[in-house]
Amino acid sequence: MADEIEFDTFTPEELEERKEYMYGKLSKRRRKFVDRVGYEKWDPFAAPFDPIDIRTDKTGMTSDHLTQLYIRQSGKNKNQEFRDAVSEFNVMLVMNFEKVRPVYEYCLWYAEHLKKHGVKP
């Protein structure tokens, strides 16, 4: 495996030179993407995102751990489709909680709404 390069040891001029070199080696399709983002905003040295399977929520649990915990504690192992839906929701939850916040808040509101009307959820 290649050694990691520490980019903070390079001068801004050296970084710009490397960036220009990398841009010159890109395929037309990839250049189109960089041009759309903007060459100045493009950071070819940015660290990659963590793979989904090792991203964690605020409690430190992965989406798989959350799914397994929910299925085990709730006893709702209905079928594979149910598990897949829970798993998909947990992936979104771990990746970006703000994306699922409206669904979460709606579920809380709806449970309260059902209680007011004497309906069991």
Parse the chain into domains and list their residue ranges: 1-47, 52-116
User: What distance in Å separates the CA atoms of residue 18 and residue 35, rounded to the nearest whole number?
Assistant: 17
Confidence label for 106 from pLDDT (cuts 50, 70 and 90): very high
In this predicted structure, the answer to whether residue 48 has a pLDDT above a threshold of 70 is: no
**What is the model's pLDDT at position 111?**
94
Percent of the chain whose predicted confidence (pLDDT) is above 90:
28
User: What distance in Å separates the CA atoms of residue 52 and residue 115, rounded to the nearest whole number?
Assistant: 37
In this predicted structure, the answer to whether residue 5 has a pLDDT above a threshold of 70 is: no
User: What distance in Å separates the CA atoms of residue 88 and residue 63, rounded to the nearest whole number?
Assistant: 8
pTM comes to 0.52
**What is the model's pLDDT at position 112?**
94
Give CA torsion, residues 120, 115, 75, 105, to 10 deg.
Answer: 140
Q: Helix axis angle, 80-95 relative to 97-116, nearest 10°?
A: 120
Residue 87 contacts residue 77 (beta carbons within 8 Å) = no
